[in-house]
Amino acid sequence: YALINQLSVHEPVDCLCEAFEVARSGYYAHLLRRRTPNVERLRLRSRVNELFTQGRSAPGSRSIMLMMQEEAEQIGRFKVRSLMRELELASKQPGSHAYKKA
């Protein structure tokens, strides 16, 4: 995208995007993204990580969401899920019991 940005002074953006086989919408979305990290998202990530480790790697997104809502934090399950994915956290659930046949 940086090359398209530099060349856009001389050529139209749609021609450049077509030449580099890049969607124009992707190029413009890249321009709109913030360059600085989102402080609120970083705070939420650290809190999700903290609650996950306190729960000994057991709670999932629903449990963490409920814990955060008890702390008066406005957050949804899918936001917690995306934060957990960014942190590469996965709930460790107990496996099914292997019953022995008689």
Asked if 87 contacts 49 with a C-beta cutoff of 8 angstroms, the reply is yes
Cα 81 to Cα 38: distance, rounded to the nearest angstrom: 17
Selected residue with higher pLDDT from 36 and 68: 68
Same domain, 44 and 27: no
Of the listed ranges 36-40, 52-56, 71-75, 77-81, the least confidently predicted one is: 36-40
Q: Band of the pLDDT at 34, cuts 50, 70, 90? A: low
Mean pLDDT across the chain: 90
Cα 65 to Cα 1: distance, rounded to the nearest angstrom: 36
Examine residue 95 and state whether it is found in any structural domain, yes or no: no
Expressed as residue numbers, the domain containing 20 is 2-32
Q: Band of the pLDDT at 99, cuts 50, 70, 90? A: confident
pTM for the predicted model, two decimal places:
0.61
Same domain, 52 and 81: yes
